Amino acid sequence: MADFFSLDGVDDALIKKERAKARELRKTRWWQQKTAPGICYYCHQKFPYKDLTMDHLVPLARGGRSTKDNLVPACKDCNTKKKNMMSVEWDEYLDSLDKK
């Protein structure tokens, strides 16, 4: 039986398992409370709570897990732009935009 790994070397089966955990966490009161203020973790702008997505601070493809301390609400734009960046890389990216 062959093992399959993503580009970053993380087992695809593990990523699938962690995504399932994240889907379950989205249904919890904890997530409702996290999104109730409607604030994106990255850009700090206010959005309707239904427009916030769940983002992993340490992306699954980089070894992150679907745990409460690794999940934050993010607007779709920030989440899409962040991709598989770590928080430090994202901050550096934002700093480079500010300098332009």
pLDDT in tens, the chain (100 residues): 344 444 455 788 999 999 999 999 999 999 999 999 999 999 999 999 889 999 999 999 999 999 999 999 999 999 999 999 998 898 898 888 887 6
Query: Residues 58-72, buried b or exposed e (16+ Cβ, 10 A)?
Result: ebbbeebebeeebbb
Task: Give me the pLDDT at residue 2, please.
Answer: 41
Planar angle of CA 28, 31, 32, nearest 5 degrees: 90
CATH of 12-99, one of 3.30.950.10, 2.102.10.10, 1.10.1030.10, 1.10.30.50: 1.10.30.50
Domain parsing of the chain, residue ranges: 12-99
Task: Give me the pLDDT at residue 57, please.
Answer: 95
For 97, phi and psi rounded to 5 degrees?
-70, -40
Task: Give me the pLDDT at residue 3, please.
Answer: 44
The answer to whether the pTM exceeds 0.85 is no
